[in-house]
Amino acid sequence: MMIQNCWEYMNCGRDGNNGQEACPAKTETRAHRLNRGTNGGRVCWAVEGTRCYGKVQGTYAEKVMICSECEFRRVVQDEEWPSFWLVYMKS
């Protein structure tokens, strides 16, 4: 099984390699390696400003409900259980 980051799994085009601005999850270095991801790629639900379902999302508090139903989050939780990280501490 190949571990994927959100931009790979969701195929959103915001990986920074196609002329579009990279997703905040891809550049969030404080979350690097959480849930075995690159930067915030496997805790995207906790990263502010990600684009999901074609729309830029807000803060964790603003998007917690939509992200709780996200297929990618469920995949990560299943792959990482019992070491799953729901959130990370910003410094």
Average pLDDT value for the chain: 90
Q: Is 88 within the bounds of a domain?
A: no
Question: Which range marks the domain in which residue 62 is found?
Answer: 6-80
Q: Is 67 within the bounds of a domain?
A: yes
Q: Is 86 within the bounds of a domain?
A: no
Q: Is 57 within the bounds of a domain?
A: yes
- Length of the chain equals 91
Contact between 66 and 57 under an 8 Å Cβ cutoff? The reply is yes
Q: Read off φ and ψ for residue 48, nearest 5 degrees.
A: -70, 140
Q: What is the pTM of this model?
A: 0.87
What is the reported pLDDT for 30?
94
Task: Report the number of distinct structural domains present in the chain.
Answer: 1
Q: Is 85 within the bounds of a domain?
A: no
17-57 pLDDT, tens digit per residue, is: 877 788 999 999 999 999 999 999 999 999 999 988 778 89
Q: Is 1 within the bounds of a domain?
A: no
CA 31 – CA 50 distance, rounded (Å): 14
